[in-house]
Each structure stands twice: as C-alpha cells, then as structure tokens.
Amino acid sequence: MNRNRLFLGAAAALIVLIAGFWIFDSVLGDTQPASGPMTAIPINAQPTSAPEPTTAPADPAPATPTETAPVATASPAPVAPTEAPTAPPAGVAPNQVIRYQIVADESKVSFRIAEDLRGQRIEAIGTTNQVAGEFAINPSDLTTAQIGVIQVNARTFATDSGNRDRAIRNFILNTDQYEFITFTPTAIEGLSGSGALNEPFTFTIRGDLTIRDITRPVAFEATVRAESAERLVGVATTTVKRSDYNLQIPSVPFVANVSDDVVLTIEFVALAAAQ
C-alpha cells in the first residue's frame, strides 16, 4: 500500500513538473527576436498629370491614380466653383506628389489595456518603435492622399514587466508564428482641401487590422500636421476587442479581470523619401 502511494505520489510530481515546464515554455519561455529592421511596403503615388489621350474628348476627365493594393484613396469632396485653390507649402510645386515614410526611431506604437494586478486596477501599456509605412500626398489636393500597409513588429512590444512581455509574445500573440501586426487601409474619410504648414488635419482611416491569423475592419481617428514640406507628424487611435481576435489571457497568479477593450495608438514621424 505504501509502495503504491509512493508510486502515485511520484507520478503526480512528475506530471506537475512536466506541466510546469510546459507552462514556462509556452507562456514565459524565450521568444524569437525580430527578424530584421522594419521597411515600408511601397505604394504607387498619384500621377502628377493626366496621360495624353488617344482621342481628344470634348471635356477631358481628370487622371485617376494607379491602384496598387493595398492602397487607401479618399473620395473627392465637393468644392464650390468659386473657391480658389490654396497654394501648396513653400518649396512644393503645384500638384507634386510627395512620398513619406515612417521613421521608426522617432515613432511609437502602443497598446493600453486595463487589468487587476495584485488587487489593484492598473493600465498595462506596451510600446514599440518597430513600425513601418508609406504615404503619398499631393499637398494641393488632399483628397488624393494614399496610405499603404502599416506594419508593426509584435515581437518587440515591451511593458514594465518581463513576465508580461513573454506571456504576450508567447501565449497571447504567438509572435514566433505571427511576427507582424498589419493594418491595410481601405478608405480615408474627412480629408479634403489643400495642405498648409503647421495646420492639423483630422480625419478617419478605415481598413483591415490583422492580428495573428484574424482580420477585422477597424477605423483609426487620425490627426496629422506638416511641420515642413519634408516632415509630417501625426497620431492615430482606435479601440478593438480582444475577443474579436480570440486573444486569450493565460491564467497566471495575481492577474485578473483583464479588459476586453484594447486601445491602439500610432504616434509617428514621416519624412519625405527620395524621389
């Protein structure tokens, strides 16, 4: 009888030990590092002039932008016939399309989520500067603005807790398998007129947000300002549901009541790329 009890006790201890190793490896074990520096996915900018028609129509139609997925193009806003166009910023030719690329070293992507930690309600914040994206803008006509895919390296998110970081990377986001979070814009709403230096423009960017292998439509509220013809600064924010992306929180000591709402924010600096 004693021998059986010893055997059962040893077997139970072995199971607990194996389970402990599995939990450590799947939740708190080492994760893969970022595969490399972030680079923007290029987009085709709005043509600066209409191509020569093969036959001269009575009323030539304006050129339409070349479409290269993924691209978001705003619908033109109506303009009163008597309204005179605003001059572009100094140093920018009329109808010149400028490509801007996000500068990772001056940018930041963050998530904010509420949780109970050791009985105290806190807001956990994770950040990374590993973000890339490209814009194409004609300052004389903001309705033709284009935004390419925005990518964030999920392996590089960091909070104030190393254990939380490893749980996020290993268990919640599975970053060894899904390194990047991507936002593919599909429409820009509320952006019109002409650009002016140091004037903030607030608008909505709709698109598809992919986290792991799940894609859902979201809308970012954005504010962008041109500090110069070569430098844009901006911020875009949205709130998503963890449940929409099946992001499960591992059962760990001292953590409870994690919010379903997650606030995502992109703070960026974008510089004009070489033409």
122 and 25 assigned to the same domain: no
pLDDT of residue 94: 73
179 and 227 assigned to the same domain: yes
Q: 145 pLDDT exceeds 60? A: yes
Cα 183–chain centre separation: 5
Write out pLDDT tens, residues 42-62: 996 434 333 343 344 444 444
- Please count the structural domains in the chain: 2
What percent of the chain shows pLDDT beyond 90? 64
Q: For the domain that residue 117 is a member of, what is the CATH number? A: 2.40.128.110
120 and 212 assigned to the same domain: yes
196 and 224 assigned to the same domain: yes
Domain range for 16 is: 1-30
pLDDT of residue 6: 53
The DSSP-derived string for 97-153 is: -EEEEE-GGG-EEEEEEEEEETTEEEEEEEEE--EE-EEEE-TT-GGG-EE--EEEE
21 and 98 assigned to the same domain: no
Measured CA distances, 112 to 124, 193, 212, 233, 266 (Å): 6, 34, 18, 21, 12
229 vs 24 pLDDT, higher one: 229
Q: 84 pLDDT exceeds 80? A: no
* CB 139, CB 195: distance < 8 Å: yes
- The helix (H) or strand (E) run that includes residue 244 is none
Q: 177 pLDDT exceeds 60? A: yes
Instruction: Please give, one letter per residue, the 3-state secondary structure of 49-91.
Output: CCCCCCCCCCCCCCCCCCCCCCCEECCCCCCCCCCCCCCCCCC
143 and 261 assigned to the same domain: yes
Asked if residue 49 belongs to a domain, the reply is: no
Write out pLDDT tens, residues 108-123: 999 999 999 999 999 9
237 vs 8 pLDDT, higher one: 237
Give the start-end residues of each E strand in 2-47. Answer: none
pLDDT of residue 44: 67
pTM for this prediction: 0.74
94 and 164 assigned to the same domain: yes
